[in-house]
Amino acid sequence: MGRVEGDAGGLNVRAMLGGMFGWMVDVFDLTLVLFIASVLGEYFFPPTNLIARLLFVFASYSLTLLARPLGGIIFGHVADRIGRRLTMMVTLLGLGISSALTGALPTYQEVGLLATALFVLLRLIVGVFVGGEVSGSHLVAIESSSPRFRGLVSGVIESGYYWGYALAALTFALLRDYFGPRIFVSFGWRYAFLVGLVVALVGILLRLTVDEPSIYREVKTAGKIPRVPIAALFREKPLDVLVVLVLLAGIFWVAYATLGFLPTYLGTFLKIPMPMVFWGLTYAALIGGVITIVGGVLSNYLKRKYSFLYYSLIGIIIAYPLAVALRGGYVPMVISAGILTSVVGTGGVMLAYLAELFPTRYRGSAIGFLWNMASIGATGALLTAPLWLKSLGLLIGYTTMLIAGFIIAIIGAAITRDNTGVELRKLDETA
């Protein structure tokens, strides 16, 4: 089944790649919405000025984030009570279809506020499936691979964010160049959302050959799964819940200040030509993906806790020079954006860190809920970004916004537990 060895001592390659493709679809859809925010604002919201339209789209995007915890709770429960495999199949298919449907919606000019309602509703549905994706896909890969591969698995799956980001930027750039700016704005943007469905189908084909992890089958067969796994999480691990929320909120803040806001920052505020922005972000995402994998692998040696601390401290130190480099020409912009969007490698650590904190019997519910609740922190970064820039200026405002997120991450990392390399079965024995 694509393993180098067995469940206890190997690497489940197909599960790892299947998880990576799922996260590609996740970020492809979410990022594409931000890349074409001005177009979506024109077609799905009442006529107004550019800034107001952008805020409308960002608010809808935030609704997607707000729907994610619901998806995490629903599909986390399914992942724990019924199975990881079913969860990862349903969430990826649902995500691919709901994303593709965005390209088929009628516009505000055609049906008025009904278009706004349908767009917002579809964003909520996407949020539910995105929230559920984290509850199943990576668990199969991590639970069926040995501790020595855990950092690699975490980094590779999380790198799917960057390949999806690169694909979104590449899709935007190619379609815009193919159709031309006028026709792309008219209807060419609709084709972009179909690409996510293709990626989802590739991920589903990989996942069809993946079995349930043996550690999960053992716990389920023994009848150790709680009737309400999320309730068991809050009853047994309340302190870990709070600490994880702080740590992940800081990382997500930086992630959405970069992955989410950079296209708007570079194009709308720094006035860099859009073709240069999106081709540049395509290459930058490739850099970010590699850094993420390296960050995950190194966390096996540095330990998860200290990886978060070291990477975040580096992020604070280099935030200002990287913000300066964004306006220093094409090559400096690409390199700077690549490092910034990687959140200095912290993303590659997160999945392994979370899997090592919680027992198998409610691991799906724990990660699904915590990951998605913390992502709401990204809402603050997106919605307040124009205020940071307006009050402090473009350079200092953007730098300060980045540093704020890293500081929050450091606070969480400083007080979290470290279980690097723990045998997951030991968590089940002591739970």
> What 3-state DSSP class applies to 3?
strand
User: Under a CB-based contact definition with an 8 Å cutoff, are residues 64 and 120 in contact?
Assistant: no
Answer yes or no: is 326 within a domain. yes
Q: Which residues contact 7 (CB under 8 A, 6 or more apart)?
A: 144, 145, 213, 214, 215
The pLDDT value recorded for residue 358 is: 95
User: Under a CB-based contact definition with an 8 Å cutoff, are residues 41 and 53 in contact?
Assistant: yes
CA separation for the pair 319, 401 (Å, rounded): 10
Q: Most confidently modeled of 6-15, 29-38, 171-180, 332-341?
A: 332-341
Question: What confidence tens digit (pLDDT) does each residue in 51-70 have?
Answer: 666 667 767 767 787 888 99
CA separation for the pair 152, 364 (Å, rounded): 20
CA separation for the pair 349, 224 (Å, rounded): 28
CATH of the domain at 357: 1.20.1250.20
**Domain containing 138: what range?**
13-430
Report residue 50's pLDDT band, with 50, 70 and 90 as the boundaries. low
Answer yes or no: is 2 within a domain. no
Instruction: Return the higher-pLDDT residue of 88 and 413.
Output: 413
Residue 12, strand partner residues:
3
Instruction: Average the pLDDT over 359-374 and give the result.
Output: 93
State yes or no: pLDDT of 378 exceeds 80: no
What H or E segment, with its residue span, contains residue 65?
helix 50-81
Cα 38 to Cα 13, 72, 100, 253: the distances in Å are: 39, 30, 19, 22
CA separation for the pair 228, 362 (Å, rounded): 9
Instruction: Average the pLDDT over 359-383 and give the result.
Output: 86
State yes or no: pLDDT of 3 exceeds 50: no
Handedness of CA 255, 19, 373, 52 (dihedral sign): positive
CA separation for the pair 314, 316 (Å, rounded): 5
- Over the chain, what is the mean pLDDT? 88
State yes or no: pLDDT of 41 exceeds 80: no
Instruction: Average the pLDDT over 362-385 and give the result.
Output: 85
CA angle, residues 426, 213, 130, in degrees to nearest 5: 105
State yes or no: pLDDT of 104 exceeds 80: yes
Answer yes or no: is 216 within a domain. yes
The pLDDT value recorded for residue 169 is: 82
Instruction: Return the higher-pLDDT residue of 370 and 172.
Output: 370
The structural domain count of the chain equals 1
Torsion angles phi and psi, residue 364, rounded to 5:
-60, -45
The pLDDT value recorded for residue 292 is: 96
CA separation for the pair 98, 191 (Å, rounded): 14
Residue 3, strand partner residues:
12
Q: Which of 4-13, 161-170, 204-213 shows the lowest mean pLDDT across its residues? A: 4-13
Answer yes or no: is 173 within a domain. yes
Q: Which of 79-88, 171-180, 285-294 shows the lowest mean pLDDT across its residues? A: 171-180
Instruction: Return the higher-pLDDT residue of 324 and 344.
Output: 324
Instruction: Return the higher-pLDDT residue of 373 and 61.
Output: 373
Instruction: Average the pLDDT over 8-20 and give the result.
Output: 82
CA angle, residues 359, 363, 368, in degrees to nearest 5: 160
CA separation for the pair 338, 284 (Å, rounded): 4
User: Under a CB-based contact definition with an 8 Å cutoff, are residues 365 and 73 in contact?
Assistant: yes
Question: What confidence tens digit (pLDDT) does each residue in 240-279 have?
Answer: 999 999 999 999 999 888 877 888 899 889 999 988 888 8
Report residue 6's pLDDT band, with 50, 70 and 90 as the boundaries. very low
pTM: 0.88
Closest by CA to 193, choosing from 90, 104, 286, is: 104
Q: At what angle do helices 189-207 and 150-179 cross, to 10 degrees?
A: 150
Instruction: Average the pLDDT over 375-396 and give the result.
Output: 84
The pLDDT value recorded for residue 384 is: 85
CA separation for the pair 132, 402 (Å, rounded): 28
Paired tokens of 235: 């009853």
DSSP of 350-402: HHHHHHTTS-GGGHHHHHHHHHHHHTTHHHHHHHHHHHHHHHH-HHHHHHHHH
Answer yes or no: is 1 within a domain. no
Paired tokens of 54: 């952008």
Answer yes or no: is 5 within a domain. no
The pLDDT value recorded for residue 63 is: 77
Question: What confidence tens digit (pLDDT) does each residue in 114-154 have?
Answer: 988 898 888 889 889 988 988 887 888 899 888 999 999 99
The pLDDT value recorded for residue 227 is: 94
State yes or no: pLDDT of 8 exceeds 90: no
Q: At what angle do helices 50-81 and 363-374 cross, to 10 degrees?
A: 170
Answer yes or no: is 422 within a domain. yes
The pLDDT value recorded for residue 44 is: 80
Report residue 78's pLDDT band, with 50, 70 and 90 as the boundaries. very high
The pLDDT value recorded for residue 1 is: 41
Answer yes or no: is 76 within a domain. yes
